[in-house]
Amino acid sequence: MKLQRLFWILFLLNLLNYIDRQVLYSVFPLLQSDLHLTDLQLGTLASAFMLVYMCYAPLMGYLADRINRPRLIALSALLWSGATFVCASAKNYISLLFARACVGVGEGGFTTIAQPFLAEHYPKEKHAPLLALFGLALPIGSALGYMLGGMVGQHWGWRVAFMVAGIPGVFLALAALTLRDQSREQSRAKRPTLKNYLPLVRNKPFLSVCFAQAMSTFVMGGLSAWMPMYLHRYLGLSTQQAGTQFGVLVIIAGAIGTYSGGKLAAYWLAKTNAAYFKLTALCFICALPFCWLALVSASTVCTLSCIGLALVLLFMPTGAIAAALVATTKKYIRSMAFAVNIFMIHLLGDAFSPTIVGWISDRYDLKAAVLVATLMLLPGAWAAWRAKS
């Protein structure tokens, strides 16, 4: 298997994964107007996806440690793409909620498998920059999702936005079927039992990294779901403007943060084994002041600049966290380790943060709700720093 081909197929799938995930948020104003939804109901659409996503991940982790992973990747892509397309035909809130939840089945399967599958084809010293490069799909895909949803939704409606987002997954699923699971073919005899997974619950560095990432995911989930609406509501941007401007901001900040963070983690690792943990903690602490400045400013330029700097810092540990998960777990149970990570970070993170932000917003205002969400970076920094000891 050519490594470049493996990387690009998985990268494009990861890109589409985030496009389909984020397109919902840029059409929040259109959904609210068309279906007469409250902020709490909008937040629940995001949480329904995450609840299914995180609950499905352990099942997929169990299967991925035992059977052909490229086939599971292809099936996952077909499932989430089909569910995204079905969102376009929703007649009411309940049908949209169900379709959106089903997107989580496919995406939960893919995310569980992709990073450990990719990492095992490369040496340890390349894991942080490699997984950081793979992680660039998050900001780029998220940005494309915001821009696609905002632009298509503004001109042709939110239903067409879901249709356009759902189609490409079919072709990428076919490409995934051409990959080979060489390491699994070479080690069929070593299949983990349930007992082999028990050390994960006693693995302090692994659990600390999971908790730290969960707190970051709580904040990122809240920002991802509500910043386009925030820009629309407080700064007067149209649906298209809010989606496009926030999308451009995410792609620039995400690319800078993810790439530079991967390089910095690899450089720092040569000096200390605690590099991944220290980098994560410092980035979380430094991001907080910029989050707060963005929320107290009435200037569009100041708000976007500060939130951009905060996003750079939040994206910087992307490769370090993924590499830390690889480094702290054994190869033959790694798919389950990533599944446990997915379950934890979404259970404690963005499975509920969009709903919590919506609930606080209905009772106070959106500015206060987002401000409260950013406070979760404090326990996240503590957990990351604690993981190094």
pLDDT tens, N- to C-terminus, the chain (389 residues): 577 888 899 999 999 988 988 888 888 888 888 888 888 888 888 778 888 888 888 888 878 777 788 888 999 899 888 898 889 888 899 999 999 988 888 888 888 888 888 877 777 777 777 888 888 888 888 878 888 888 888 889 889 988 888 888 888 888 888 887 765 554 554 667 677 777 788 888 889 999 999 999 999 888 888 888 888 888 888 877 887 788 788 888 888 998 888 888 888 877 887 888 889 999 999 999 999 998 888 888 899 999 999 999 999 998 888 888 888 888 777 778 888 888 888 888 877 888 899 899 988 888 889 888 999 999 999 999 887 65
What is the pLDDT at residue 310? 94
Q: Name residues whose C-beta falls within 8 Å of residue 341's C-beta, 6 or more positions apart in sequence.
A: 206, 209, 210, 213, 325
Inter-residue contact 147 to 23 (CB < 8 Å): no
- CATH code of the region 3-184+199-387: 1.20.1250.20
Q: What are phi and psi of 136, to 5 degrees?
A: -60, -20
Q: Which residue intervals of 136-203 are DSSP H helices?
A: 137-156, 158-166, 169-176, 182-186, 194-197
CA distances from 319 to 110, 263, 334, 335 (A): 18, 9, 16, 17
Both structure tokens of 281 = 């903690």
Closest CA to 210 of 109, 344, 337, 112: 344
Tell me how far apart the alpha carbons of residues 74 and 375 are, in angstroms, rounded to a whole number: 38
Inter-residue contact 229 to 243 (CB < 8 Å): no
Tell me how far apart the alpha carbons of residues 109 and 335 are, in angstroms, rounded to a whole number: 10
Both structure tokens of 119 = 């990492």
Tell me how far apart the alpha carbons of residues 263 and 132 are, in angstroms, rounded to a whole number: 8
Q: What are phi and psi of 298, to 5 degrees?
A: -100, 5
Q: What are phi and psi of 95, to 5 degrees?
A: -65, -35
What is the pLDDT at residue 189? 47
Q: What is the CA radius of gyration of the chain?
A: 20
pTM, whole model, 2 decimals? Answer: 0.73
Tell me how far apart the alpha carbons of residues 97 and 109 are, in angstroms, rounded to a whole number: 20
Tell me how far apart the alpha carbons of residues 97 and 88 are, in angstroms, rounded to a whole number: 12
What is the pLDDT at residue 186? 45
Both structure tokens of 199 = 């050390």
Closest CA to 247 of 19, 8, 16: 19
CA distances from 311 to 8, 32, 54, 98, 219 (A): 25, 27, 24, 31, 10
Instruction: Name the residue type at position 353.
Output: S
Domain boundaries, the chain: 3-184+199-387
What is the pLDDT at residue 200? 82
CA 227 from centre of chain: 16
Inter-residue contact 334 to 326 (CB < 8 Å): yes
